[in-house]
Structure 1
Amino acid sequence: MPKKLFPDEKHIGNVEQVVTDSESNTVTHFVVGKGLLLKEHKLIPAVWVTKVDEEKIYLSVESRLFDCLTDYQPD
């Protein structure tokens, strides 16, 4: 089940993929999907994460910043 992403207590999407650095094996980004039919995907830097619990990931940025990010297109 995907984790839900919450910047300022507002749900902005679900984590659909975790991106890692193959050399250091650390998480670098999260691919977040938003929408039902025509999903948009954004790449969120892992350094924005402030807290993780059973169901949610909390971010240090405001939700309006999510809309400013460019769409992520996987290879």
Structure 2
Amino acid sequence: MRSVGTILVITILLGLLAAVGWFAFAGITAPGEPMPSAGYVALAFGALITVLVGVGLMALVFYSSRRGYDEPPRFHEDR
């Protein structure tokens, strides 16, 4: 059985997801000038850079974890 807090958090997150979807749909179907192709290129470039930064940061997390950089420092007296 799920607790009330878990159900509340899931409900709030689903509500936020629905709101974002509604705003995205409203933005795409809004009347007026369509987005120029330079805008789509900038959007794709920004998404690509965001993914590359995320991949790089995750690679650094795994690298530092495997090399022991995340361990607390030890002094010679502790041996």
Q: TM above 0.5, one fold?
A: no
User: TM-score under structure 2 normalisation?
Assistant: 0.21
Higher strand share: 1
RCO comparison, higher one (Cα < 8 Å, 6+): 1
User: TM-score under structure 1 normalisation?
Assistant: 0.22
